[in-house]
């Protein structure tokens, strides 16, 4: 089995993004990304800090908006409205999850579709499902770039997606369908899940269920993408990250992503690539 190195592929993508940012700067466009964080969820703090640091590394200007957890929805919507109208901002990202008193769908629906670098706005969701362009959510886009590193011809391959979230499961299913895979979307309540997964040439596990997928669920020669990232407490009292797949049992697979170091790093690299794409589309 070949491990798919998400860190290396993300680095290559970010290098390409940096070159595109530099080319836009040559013609007077300074690519800008607004990053909005409500509250102090420790994981969100880490991801936002990495998004800001990676933006700087590729030359994207970031505008950080850190708001108290108690910020009311109206104030957040007013900020997004201002960012929608700000010509220096090409992409807007609202870090999820949001505190419970804020209706996430209302917030995401307020972001201008052309600046929606997370690809969560209904217009971009609709464009993805009709194959008519738009900005594609970062983690699903990252999954496809990882698959592209090992698969040339997708036509007719059986793909099984585990997980039906709006952020990963549904969009990745659309992207696989676009490549003419035969796609089955399953989830934690699917009956006979292991038998269905055993039919797959491509498995995308995005259920958020640590080590759900065992080695004997995987057909020999299949490619496995593990989107799950759960922090668990190990026997020694320390914490570690585990995926949805028992990676060490995948000797008979063709290729698979580890956790950490697989899909995760692609999410931020794709965010930066989407921001450049938004800046480019805004000029057309
Ligand atoms: N607005 C958004 N919110 C959230 C998204 C998103 O795409 N848009 N995704 C996740 C969190 N996320 C980015 O925001 C993210 C998750 C994981 C990683 C990553 O690189 N993981 C590493 C391990 C990192 C660690 O050590 O903790 C890996 O898998 O190797 C990057 C970004 C939810 N919110």
- Determine the distance separating the centroid of ligand 1 and the alpha carbon of 26, expressed in angstroms: 31
Query: With a 6 A CB cut-off, is 259 part of the ligand 1 pocket?
Result: yes
Contact 31, 18 (CB under 8 A): no
Please tell me the predicted confidence (pLDDT) of residue 284. Answer: 86
Please tell me the predicted confidence (pLDDT) of residue 181. Answer: 98
Please tell me the predicted confidence (pLDDT) of residue 234. Answer: 84
Tokens 């703090």 belong to residue: 45
Query: With a 6 A CB cut-off, is 226 part of the ligand 1 pocket?
Result: no
For the chain, which residues score pLDDT lower than 50?
Answer: none
Query: With a 6 A CB cut-off, is 260 part of the ligand 1 pocket?
Result: yes
Whether residue 284 lies in the annotated active site? no
CATH class of 25-118: alpha beta
For ligand 1, mutation pick of 34, 76, 96 (most atoms within 8 Å of CB): 96
ipTM exceeds 0.95? yes
Whether residue 118 lies in the annotated active site? yes
Give the domain ranges of the chain. Answer: 25-118, 138-264
pTM value is 0.97
CATH of range 138-264; options 3.40.50.720, 3.40.50.2300, 3.40.366.10, 3.40.50.300 = 3.40.50.720
Please tell me the predicted confidence (pLDDT) of residue 31. Answer: 98
Please tell me the predicted confidence (pLDDT) of residue 236. Answer: 87
Tokens 């708001």 belong to residue: 67
d(CA 226, CA 161): 10
- Determine the distance separating the centroid of ligand 1 and the alpha carbon of 72, expressed in angstroms: 25
Expressed in angstroms, the distance from the first to the final Cα of the chain is 44
Q: What is the pLDDT of residues 230-242, one digit of tens each?
A: 999 888 889 999 9
- Determine the distance separating the centroid of ligand 1 and the alpha carbon of 90, expressed in angstroms: 21
Mean of the per-residue pLDDT values of the chain: 97
How many other CB atoms sit within 10 Å of the CB of residue 86?
14
């Amino acid at each position: 089995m070949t491990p798919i190195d998400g860190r290396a592929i993300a680095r290559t993508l970010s290098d390409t993004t940096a070159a595109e940012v530099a080319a836009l700067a040559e013609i007077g466009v300074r690519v800008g990304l607004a990053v909005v964080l409500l509250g102090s969820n420790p994981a969100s703090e880490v991801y936002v800090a990495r998004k800001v640091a990676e933006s700087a590394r590729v030359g994207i200007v970031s505008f950080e908006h850190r708001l108290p957890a108690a910020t009311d929805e109206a104030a957040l919507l007013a900020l997004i409205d201002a960012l929608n109208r700000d010509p220096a901002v090409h992409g807007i990202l609202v870090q999820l999850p949001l505190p419970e008193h804020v209706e996430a769908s209302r917030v995401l629906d307020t972001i201008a579709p052309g600046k929606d670098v997370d690809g969560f706005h209904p217009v971009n969701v609709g464009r993805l499902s009709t194959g008519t362009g738009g900005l594609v959510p970062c983690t699903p886009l990252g999954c496809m770039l990882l698959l592209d590193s090992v698969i040339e011809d997708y036509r007719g391959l059986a793909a099984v997606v585990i997980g039906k979230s709006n952020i990963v499961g549904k969009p990745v299913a659309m992207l696989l369908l676009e490549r003419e895979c035969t796609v089955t979307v399953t989830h934690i309540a699917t009956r006979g899940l292991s038998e269905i997964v055993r039919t797959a040439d491509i498995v995308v596990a995005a259920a958020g269920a640590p080590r759900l997928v065992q080695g004997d669920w995987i057909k020999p020669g299949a490619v496995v993408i593990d989107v799950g990232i759960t922090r668990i407490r190990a026997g020694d009292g320390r914490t570690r990250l585990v995926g949805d797949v028992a990676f060490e049992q995948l000797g008979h697979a063709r290729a698979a992503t580890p956790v950490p170091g697989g899909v995760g790093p692609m999410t931020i690299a794709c965010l930066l690539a989407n921001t450049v794409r938004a800046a480019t589309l805004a000029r057309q």
